[in-house]
A and B are shown apart, each in its own frame.
Chain A
Amino acid sequence: MAIYKKYVVVTANFDADGNIMPLSIVWDDGTRYEIDKVLDVRPAASMRAGGAGIRYTCRILNKETYLFLEGSMWFVEAKR
């Protein structure tokens, strides 16, 4: 299964200290996926999708997935 870089629409919370926490992701077909919990935040590269930025490890529908903030755009490592 090939992995590719997919930019997504994200709703996020910006707190008064400047921290950014993603709340939900909207997929192409319009489905909104709530992020149940952000488990980890750190700078990291995505070798699989090709990119680097702040990596949020998110639990969505009981699965762990990476969400990257690169500059002002969000992307995920999507499967084709």
Chain B
Amino acid sequence: MERVILHSDCNSFYASVECLYRPEIRNKPVAVGGDVEQRHGIILTKNQIAKKYNIKTGEALWQAKQKCPDLVIVPPNFPLYMRFSKMARKIYLDYTDQVEPFGLDEAWLDVTGSAVKGDGLTIAKEISARIKYEMGITVSIGVSYNKIFAKLGSDYKKPDAITVMSKDNYKQIAWPLPASDLLYVGRATEKKLTSLGVHTIGDLAGTSNQILRSFFGKWGDVLYCFSNGLDTTPVSKFDNQPTIKSIGNSTTTPRDLENNEDVKIILFVLADSVSRRLREQGFKARTVCISVRDNQLFSFTRQYTLKQYTNITSEIAREGFSLFCKQYHWLKPIRSIGISVTDFVSDTIATQTDLFSDEKSREKREQLDSTVDWLKNRFGSYCVQPAVLLADRQLSGFDPKRDHTIHPVGYF
């Protein structure tokens, strides 16, 4: 049976919510931007008027101001956006329990079994009208028989639009679009595809599976399926929590990092948050990964697999720092840095020890961590800290665990 899948995307989500709450700026070019003082000064979203000035998400606030001197820049209010995100999901859940959020502002809905409410287009129209009436913002909705084309449909026409990509019309609508519109075709893949003479989704669909596989490995199959509308990935049920595969934190620092001592401070703050989240989820991890971006915005990641699974703060911090010391040669100062851990096992699983590590001291450190966790939950993240963080209060004075509330998501 052919599925009926909707992809709903709130148009300029943050900016729309801000414009709803501030009627006085509704007719002006508006952007939501980060804090310049903290060097988070980039455009997060812009409204339709600002789009006309060619303002791009991710560009620096000063660049945007140059393009449009009258641009109104408002600071983000994440708790408010989360409330609106929940309101939208509540509306979606009136139609199906298969609601799969993709970030705060997007979601897939499988309404195959909701025929009592009408066909896909009817339901899309009703959802669009309700969101406008109940939340005061607009959505673009794609209606299709698979998730990938539904998403293409919601991107096809904005704002406040509904696009149907059916088996009858996808060759006319989806195939002429550039290949980069497809989920998971980023800059690198696009470049490779261009060198193969593949420019549109139709070109991609017409390229044989074997050729794609020889260039992209298993991603070749994925691209082939996506472009031909053969994707069968189900829309997961709303209460299905996705499996956590990695936990990480990163930050752009208030000033450039100049030496190992600076990096040590930041890595210790980040590792503290990462390991606390790891323990909260009941995991131990074995692979530590760091990401580094220098002040010319060149970035790279490196990872290292430990001999033992761990959730000990000091071990994760130490491994992250020693990996950094081995890999970075200080040709340029650093702008942002991150640490993450992957390769999880449950923390209740028995682990193999070895003859050369001091298990007694590891156990002691585990107990120390759980005590410190208890203290921090009760008295806040700053109540107990390693002494290294006192070296520079400006650098260490942030709380990634509390501040970081929106986690990026992937399709697979």
Chain A residues with a Cβ under 8 A of chain B: 3, 42-52, 71
* Residue pair A52, B23 in contact (C-beta under 8 Å): no
Is B136 on the interface with A (CB-CB < 8 A)?
yes
With A52-B87, A71-B83 as known contacts, state yes or no: A45 contacts B23, CB within 8 Å.
no
* Residue pair B20, A51 in contact (C-beta under 8 Å): yes
Question: Nearest Cβ in chain B — how far from A57, in angstroms?
Answer: 14
Interface membership of chain B positions 51-86, coded 1 if the CB is closer than 8 angstroms to chain A and 0 otherwise: 000000000000000000000000000000001100
Contact pick for B134, options A3, A48, A52, CB 8 Å: A52
Interface membership of chain B positions 5-24, coded 1 if the CB is closer than 8 angstroms to chain A and 0 otherwise: 00000000000000011110
A5 to B136, CA, bound (A): 15
A50 to B137, CA, bound (A): 11
A71 to B77, CA, bound (A): 15
**Can you list the 3 inter-chain pairs with the closest CB atoms, starting with the nearest?**
A45-B136, A43-B134, A50-B21
Q: Which of B20, B23, B84, B136 is packed against the most chain A CB atoms within 10 Å?
A: B23
A19 to B15, CA, bound (A): 32
Question: Nearest Cβ in chain B — how far from A16, in angstroms?
Answer: 23
With A52-B134, A52-B135, A52-B136 as known contacts, state yes or no: A45 contacts B83, CB within 8 Å.
no
Residues of B contacting A46 in the complex (Cβ-Cβ under 8 angstroms):
136
* Residue pair A47, B83 in contact (C-beta under 8 Å): no
Residues of A contacting B137 in the complex (Cβ-Cβ under 8 angstroms):
45
Residues of A contacting B20 in the complex (Cβ-Cβ under 8 angstroms):
45, 47, 50-52
A73 to B87, CA, bound (A): 17
Is B133 on the interface with A (CB-CB < 8 A)?
yes
Q: Which residue of A lies closest to B90 (CB)?
A: A43
Residues of B contacting A48 in the complex (Cβ-Cβ under 8 angstroms):
23
A51-B20, A52-B135 provided; 10 other pairs, C-beta below 8 A? Answer: A44-B134, A45-B133, A45-B134, A47-B23, A49-B23, A50-B21, A50-B22, A50-B23, A52-B20, A52-B134
